[in-house]
């Protein structure tokens, strides 16, 4: 830029930044706009962007474009333009600064402009008197290309820019993906051609490094900071952020989360106690008052109804101001604590000109990562598109996680069902084993009881048999022969002396295993008589006149 060596380094930087943000290729047009606004860069950007879609550009007549002959003349014109701009700011509001600016481009002076405006009847004479001055001071206000003698034309609108004009930001360069490596983040693509490290977004030092900008005043140093560097708590810092933000840009902003970054991540990406469907991406808004587009983006993009409503309904928005070095380092400290260093390494490569940033953060398979970012040069529609891309990607992740969760729950149900069936089977086996064991024990006890009963019975029978007197011989006299028919059909003869009591016959029957408690003894009389009930068992056979031969029958009661 040999033809602009009369500018200071700060003015050269402002001119370059103004062209980058507004995408004005005509360097002289950019220079004239800055000079007309007294080198107020933010105001010049806002004026240009707010009127970008509404201005009907007008080409100055060829007579207004004069060849440049020497640096002294050029320096004089620029100095006069600067003086004119300063004088215009002190004039009454009824004067149109664009009219004076047109006069300056045409070679006139401030006095001529004012005199023409105040005394219209003297226009002819004033013009004639000033003609030599006009001819002398006409210079080429456009930049000559190296090796070419052609000049560009100066374009200027007569519409006066206002801060209330509708904003429509056009991007200065195609926005790269947020997840780029450090090598690629230092260059961008301009008109399809690769450029070197002097790219529009990378002329300044990276955002994460300490540079001269930290020591020199900002364009907005007279403002109250969104987050003071001496805050005592996160709640205090974010409360101050919201209050100052609303004072600057109004209350039509998305709701800002008032907790720490860690709490915001947990609330957005985990939704504690709520289903997966209620998880939302986290939108981190990083503000920097050193950035050229900080006011434009905050007021016309973040506070636009389209962006604000989308963030309110589908995102958790967490804000932070990194204008102060202390706040910037604090942000990096929190990022390191959350073990998301990829975000820090990426942020450190961004120059201040890229800010403000609206970073969309998601979580996939327990990994927190940035999925998209909106730059300070993006307009509302571009920001909405990027937010929707991040939202759709996170919805895909949530759908996949929900499907995995359903599969996990299904597998868990199957495992629980199998475990329940297994426990039921074990319980049944245990019950069956216990039943068998119990039956076995009962059977054993029954057998032991029966054996004991049998043993007791045998012993008793032996005792009963032993209690009977010896059976008399067959040749003895005065005996009775008794035939006993037992219930099983067996029959047995037994001889008793007539002097023996009738009880001996009953004892003999019992000694054969037929207790009188369960059996009866019948005589052969007709009708038959129950021996126990019909006779006194203590009397002798002779006393009751028992037959010499008798058959008795034993049956069960």
Q: What are the pLDDT digits (tens) for 450-481? A: 888 888 888 888 888 888 999 999 888 899 99
d(CA 451, CA 399): 76
* Section 134-145 average pLDDT: 33
Q: What is the pLDDT, as a whole number, of residue 366?
A: 81
**Number of helices followed by number of strands (H, E) in the chain:** 16, 12
d(CA 364, CA 172): 32
Q: Are 44 and 293 in contact (CB under 8 A)?
A: no
Domain that holds residue 8: 2-156
Q: Do 191 and 119 share a structural domain?
A: no
Query: Does 232 reside within a domain?
Result: yes
**pLDDT grade for 217, boundaries at 50, 70 and 90:** very low
Q: What is the pLDDT, as a whole number, of residue 79?
A: 52
**pLDDT grade for 50, boundaries at 50, 70 and 90:** low
Among the candidates 358, 379, 403, a domain finishes at 403
d(CA 207, CA 221): 18
Contacts of 127 (CB under 8 A, 6+ apart): none
Statement: residue 272 has pLDDT above 50: yes
* Section 208-235 average pLDDT: 63
Q: Do 356 and 309 share a structural domain?
A: yes
Q: What is the pLDDT, as a whole number, of residue 351?
A: 81
Query: Does 168 reside within a domain?
Result: no
Query: Does 463 reside within a domain?
Result: no
Q: Do 189 and 115 share a structural domain?
A: no
Q: Calculate what percentage of the chain has a pLDDT beyond 90.
A: 26
Closest CA relative to residue 304, chosen from 253, 256, 358: 253
Cis status of the peptide bond prior to 72, with omega within 30 of 0: no
pLDDT, mean over the chain: 73
Q: What is the pLDDT, as a whole number, of residue 159?
A: 34
Query: Does 467 reside within a domain?
Result: no
Statement: residue 316 has pLDDT above 50: yes
421-to-52, 412, 416, 431, 434 alpha-carbon distances in Å = 74, 14, 8, 15, 19
d(CA 515, CA 281): 96
Query: Does 449 reside within a domain?
Result: no
* Section 48-55 average pLDDT: 55
Q: Are 52 and 72 in contact (CB under 8 A)?
A: no
Statement: residue 183 has pLDDT above 60: no
Q: Do 195 and 147 share a structural domain?
A: no
Concatenating the DSSP letter of every residue in 382-419 gives HHHHHHHHHHHHHHHHHHHHHHHHHHHHHHHHHHHHHH
Among the candidates 381, 403, 425, a domain finishes at 403
Q: Which residue has the higher pLDDT, 76 or 419?
A: 419
Statement: residue 166 has pLDDT above 90: no
Concatenating the DSSP letter of every residue in 521-534 gives EE-SSSS--BHHHH
Statement: residue 91 has pLDDT above 50: no
* Section 39-52 average pLDDT: 73
Q: Do 501 and 394 share a structural domain?
A: no
**pLDDT grade for 201, boundaries at 50, 70 and 90:** very low
Query: The domain that contains 522 carries what CATH number?
Result: 3.10.20.90
Q: Do 106 and 63 share a structural domain?
A: yes
pLDDT, one tens digit per residue, over 147-165 is 333 333 333 333 333 333 3
Closest CA relative to residue 324, chosen from 466, 199, 177, 220: 220
pLDDT, one tens digit per residue, over 507-544 is 999 998 888 889 999 999 888 999 999 999 999 999 99
Q: What is the pLDDT, as a whole number, of residue 4?
A: 52
What tokens were used for 29?
Answer: 């047009």
**pLDDT grade for 51, boundaries at 50, 70 and 90:** low
d(CA 294, CA 353): 9
Q: Are strands 58-59 and 549-556 parallel, antiparallel or unpaired?
A: unpaired
* Section 98-127 average pLDDT: 38
Q: What is the pLDDT, as a whole number, of residue 491?
A: 92
- Comparing 5-14, 119-128, 514-523, the range with the smallest average pLDDT is 119-128
Query: The domain that contains 235 carries what CATH number?
Result: 3.40.30.10
Q: Do 343 and 226 share a structural domain?
A: yes
| DSSP H/E element including 249 | helix 234-249
Q: Do 203 and 108 share a structural domain?
A: no
Query: Does 11 reside within a domain?
Result: yes
Q: What is the pLDDT, as a whole number, of residue 456?
A: 87
d(CA 219, CA 291): 9
Statement: residue 115 has pLDDT above 80: no
Statement: residue 260 has pLDDT above 60: yes
Q: How many CA atoms lie within 13 A of 547 on its CB side?
A: 9
Query: Does 411 reside within a domain?
Result: no
Q: Do 197 and 127 share a structural domain?
A: no
Q: Do 502 and 549 share a structural domain?
A: yes
Query: Does 372 reside within a domain?
Result: yes
**pLDDT grade for 254, boundaries at 50, 70 and 90:** very high
Statement: residue 195 has pLDDT above 90: no
Contacts of 120 (CB under 8 A, 6+ apart): none
Return the bridge partners of 317, or none.
256, 283
pTM above 0.85, yes or no: no
Q: What is the pLDDT, as a whole number, of residue 400?
A: 87
Q: Do 288 and 189 share a structural domain?
A: yes
Q: Which residue has the higher pLDDT, 486 or 20?
A: 486
**pLDDT grade for 125, boundaries at 50, 70 and 90:** very low
What tokens were used for 82?
Answer: 């600067």
* Section 248-275 average pLDDT: 89
Q: Do 334 and 384 share a structural domain?
A: yes
pLDDT, one tens digit per residue, over 378-405 is 889 999 999 999 999 888 888 888 888 8
Contacts of 522 (CB under 8 A, 6+ apart): 528, 529, 530, 531, 552, 553, 554, 555
Statement: residue 504 has pLDDT above 60: yes
Q: Which residue has the higher pLDDT, 470 or 60?
A: 470
d(CA 113, CA 430): 111
Among the candidates 368, 403, 438, a domain finishes at 403
Structural domains in the chain (count): 3
């Amino acid at each position: 830029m040999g033809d602009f060596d009369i500018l200071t380094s700060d003015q050269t930087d402002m001119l370059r930044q103004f062209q980058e943000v507004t995408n004005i290729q005509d360097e002289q047009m950019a220079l004239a706009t800055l000079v007309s606004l007294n080198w107020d860069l933010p105001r010049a950007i806002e004026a240009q962007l707010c009127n970008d879609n509404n201005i009907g550009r007008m080409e100055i007549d060829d007579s207004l474009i004069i060849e440049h002959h020497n640096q002294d003349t050029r320096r004089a014109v620029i100095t006069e333009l600067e003086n004119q701009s300063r004088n215009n700011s002190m004039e009454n509001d009824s004067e149109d600064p664009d009219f004076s600016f047109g006069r300056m481009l045409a070679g006139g002076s401030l006095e001529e402009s004012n005199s023409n405006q105040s005394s219209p009847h003297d226009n002819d004479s004033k013009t004639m008197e000033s003609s030599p001055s006009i001819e002398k001071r006409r210079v080429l206000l456009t930049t000559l290309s190296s090796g070419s003698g052609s000049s560009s034309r100066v374009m200027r609108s007569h519409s006066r820019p206002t801060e209330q004009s509708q904003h429509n930001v056009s991007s200065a360069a195609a926005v790269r993906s947020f997840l780029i490596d450090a090598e690629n983040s230092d260059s961008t693509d301009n008109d399809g051609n690769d450029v070197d490290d002097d790219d529009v977004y990378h002329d300044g030092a990276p955002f994460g490094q300490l540079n001269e900008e930290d020591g020199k005043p900002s364009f907005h140093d007279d403002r109250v900071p969104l987050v003071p560097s001496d805050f005592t708590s996160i709640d205090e810092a974010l409360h101050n952020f919201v209050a100052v933000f609303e004072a600057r840009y109004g209350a039509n902003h998305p709701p800002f989360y008032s907790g720490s970054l860690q709490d915001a991540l947990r609330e957005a990406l985990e939704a504690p106690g709520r289903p997966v469907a209620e998880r939302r991406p986290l939108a981190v808004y990083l503000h920097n008052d050193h950035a050229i587009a900080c006011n434009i983006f905050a007021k016309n993009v973040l506070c636009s109804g389209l962006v604000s409503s989308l963030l309110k309904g589908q995102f958790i928005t967490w804000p932070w101001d990194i204008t102060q070095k202390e706040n910037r380092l604090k942000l990096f400290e929190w990022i390191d604590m959350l073990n998301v260093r990829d975000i820090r390494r990426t942020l450190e490569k961004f120059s201040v000109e890229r800010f403000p940033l609206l970073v969309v953060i998601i979580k996939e398979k327990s990994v927190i990562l940035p999925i998209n970012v909106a730059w300070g040069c993006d307009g509302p529609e571009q920001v909405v598109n990027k937010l929707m891309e991040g939202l759709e990607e996170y919805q895909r992740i949530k759908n996949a996680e929900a499907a995995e969760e359903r599969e996990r729950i299904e597998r868990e149900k199957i495992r629980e069902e199998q475990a329940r069936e297994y426990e039921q089977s074990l319980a049944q086996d245990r019950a069956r084993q216990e039943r068998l064991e119990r039956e076995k024990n009962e059977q054993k006890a029954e057998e032991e009881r029966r054996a004991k009963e049998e043993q007791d019975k045998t012993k008793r029978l032996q005792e009963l048999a032993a209690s009977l007197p010896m059976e008399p011989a067959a040749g003895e006299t005065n005996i009775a022969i008794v035939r006993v028919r037992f219930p099983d059909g067996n029959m047995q003869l037994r001889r008793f002396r007539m002097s023996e009591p009738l009880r001996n016959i009953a004892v003999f029957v019992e000694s054969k295993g037929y207790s009188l408690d369960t059996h009866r003894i019948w005589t052969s009389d007709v009708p038959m008589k129950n021996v126990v009930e019909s006779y006194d068992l203590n009397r002798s056979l002779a006393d009751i006149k028992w037959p010499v031969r008798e058959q008795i029958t034993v049956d069960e009661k």
